[in-house]
Structure 1
Amino acid sequence: MLHIEDLSYETGGRTLVDAVTLHAAPGETVGLVGPNGSGKTTLLRCVYGTLKPSAGQVRVDGTVLDGAKERARRIATVPQDGQSAFELTVREVVAMGRSPHKKFWEPDSAADRLLVDEALARVGVTDLAERPFPGLSGGERQRALVARALVQQPRLLVLDEPTNHLDIRYQLEILTLVRELGTTNLLALHDLNLAAYFCDRIHVLRTGAVVASGTPAEVLTPDLLAEVYGVRAEVAVHPATGAPTVTYLPGPRTPHATTAPASRPSAEQKTSAM
């Protein structure tokens, strides 16, 4: 269970996150959407601990996590585009996911190595295992970082644009994998159609504040897209998936009414649609 309560973050006299409150139930996938600069990444950094909130708190299973190691045992992070200054191999980067569960300089066990091999295979990078991580393409790095998060065996998975640099196949495969893990997932996405399909609930951010929350069907409306993104769009139920589908329209932004989806597709419907 994730609880974010009245969380704010200020720097240089600017408020980047403004009194955000949101919750994610165990096993739920919750999406953050909003224009560039709306505060999505800053909010996620406050959740996984690289930034200290100016106000409010983050609780996981009712506990405010103290210390980097305790936080890393509960929360795994997939950043937008992880870089490495060291010539580590992909296998070594993925194996770092076991660090929160080990003593300092404790060697990898056979169980650790098995977890690494399974994670590499699960995200489709086994053939890259011995290659230097910095030499990978953006999409290859992203998949390796997802593998590292899997090895960490977290309760909460926080992903910042996990589909960055990925082609369509891997976008669908990574987000399908995330939903199947059984973890509680909080992710920022630019692609509203992916958010509509894979997220149980969506929170829309604008200038650091949450301006709409609910199921994709409740949130993704032409009026909201005109107000928050400044675009014209139609929203309809996709006949194959049952999920809301956004079609963007050129021209001046004027809210264009259309029929909103009546209900969310079930997990079974999503699986069969894939």
Structure 2
Amino acid sequence: MTPPPATTAPRAGDLRTEGLSYEVAGRALVDAVDLSAAPGETVGVVGPNGSGKTTLLRCVYGTLHPTAGRALLDGDDLHALSAKARARRLATVPQDGQAAFELTVRQVVAMGRSPHKRFWEADTAADEDLVTAALARVGVADLADRVFPSLSGGERQRALVARALVQEPTLVVLDEPTNHLDIRYQLEILSFVRGLGTTNLLALHDLNLAAYYCDRLYVLDAGRVVASGTPEKVLTAELLATVYGVTAEVDVHPKTGAPTVVYLPPPAS
């Protein structure tokens, strides 16, 4: 999917970063990143460890404030919004859903309604219906009364996606949503995210998953964008050698039509 040109009027879920940077002690962890995700598009951020993926996402969803540049959602500077106003429009699914507090799955998912409510305002029947529908949609309705920390990794991630759903956002930011999950849950989570209808920004390690589930990719290296475009354009043997330092073959899968990366072992010394 091609993002709209810069002259197109912003629409619901239109994300852009302009020269976004984040520095610590004079070192740029994110360096002048320009990125876009059109309404309904799923955009992946990939790159080796330490390339700045998580820092970039944190600058977008608000836990870090950029030292330069800005992140815009439908033309509004996300960092100029209050945390509550931002949470009405943007939901986050973190890397690891572990939690020490003893809340049930239903209570965790219901927390997604808090941006739309006054402090200590009780849930309405409409809120409860949204929570019930979200639990069913992600396939964890039967776990609603379980204590959240008792869930498996895949179950926790699905519950956190349900929490994001009840926020009713236009943008969902997911930081390594398949981290530590077995392949079944990886496929389920990413398939579900693709079907949400929201704009989705994901950081991913697995390039084959990124190639199959993302409309476009941004490749980060040392905090800078070194390539962007469709998976077919971006994932080349040359780029993998340069950015990841690996030898690989990239072919088109005969059934999915997506690029498939096969890593080759280094030559024997």
Superposition TM-score, scaled by structure 1 size: 0.89
In structure 2, distance between residues paired with 1:178 and 1:140: 15
Determine if contact 1:20/1:209 at 8 Å carries over to the other structure: yes
Percent of counterpart pairs with the same letter?
77
In structure 1, distance between residues paired with 2:235 and 2:49: 17
In structure 2, distance between residues paired with 1:142 and 1:164: 10
In structure 2, distance between residues paired with 1:11 and 1:139: 34
Residue 127 of structure 2 corresponds to which residue in structure 1? 112
In structure 1, distance between residues paired with 2:188 and 2:150: 23
1:12 Cα deviation from its structure 2 partner:
2.7
Gaps of 5+ in 2: 1-13
Distance 1:124 1:167, change over 3 A: farther
Determine if contact 1:32/1:186 at 8 Å carries over to the other structure: yes
Residue 204, structure 1, aligned to residue 204, structure 2: no
Residue 37 of structure 1 corresponds to which residue in structure 2? 50
Deviations along 1:199-220, one digit per CA (max 9) or x if unpaired, are: 1100000111110001000000
In structure 2, distance between residues paired with 1:192 and 1:172: 13
Residue 201 of structure 2 corresponds to which residue in structure 1? 186
1:165 Cα deviation from its structure 2 partner:
2.5
Out of 189, 214, 220, the position equivalent to 1:174 is 189
Deviations along 1:24-74, one digit per CA (max 9) or x if unpaired, are: 111111000001111000000000000000000001000113110111011
Residue 235 of structure 2 corresponds to which residue in structure 1? 220
- Tell me the SS of whatever aligns to 1:20: strand
In structure 1, distance between residues paired with 2:258 and 2:97: 31
Residue 21, structure 1, aligned to residue 34, structure 2: yes
- Tell me the SS of whatever aligns to 2:135: helix
Out of 101, 118, 133, the position equivalent to 1:86 is 101
The two structures, once aligned, show a CA RMSD in angstroms of: 1.3
Determine if contact 1:94/1:147 at 8 Å carries over to the other structure: yes
Q: How do 1:141-160 residues align onto structure 2 when only pairs under 5 Å count?
A: 141-160=156-175
Residue 239, structure 1, aligned to residue 254, structure 2: yes
Equivalent residues, number: 253
In structure 2, distance between residues paired with 1:178 and 1:137: 19
Gaps of 5+ in 1: 254-274
1:170 Cα deviation from its structure 2 partner:
1.9
Deviations along 1:135-176, one digit per CA (max 9) or x if unpaired, are: 323222211111111111100010001112222222112111
Runs of 4 or more consecutive aligned structure 1 residues displaced over 6 Å after TM superposition: none
In structure 2, distance between residues paired with 1:40 and 1:177: 22
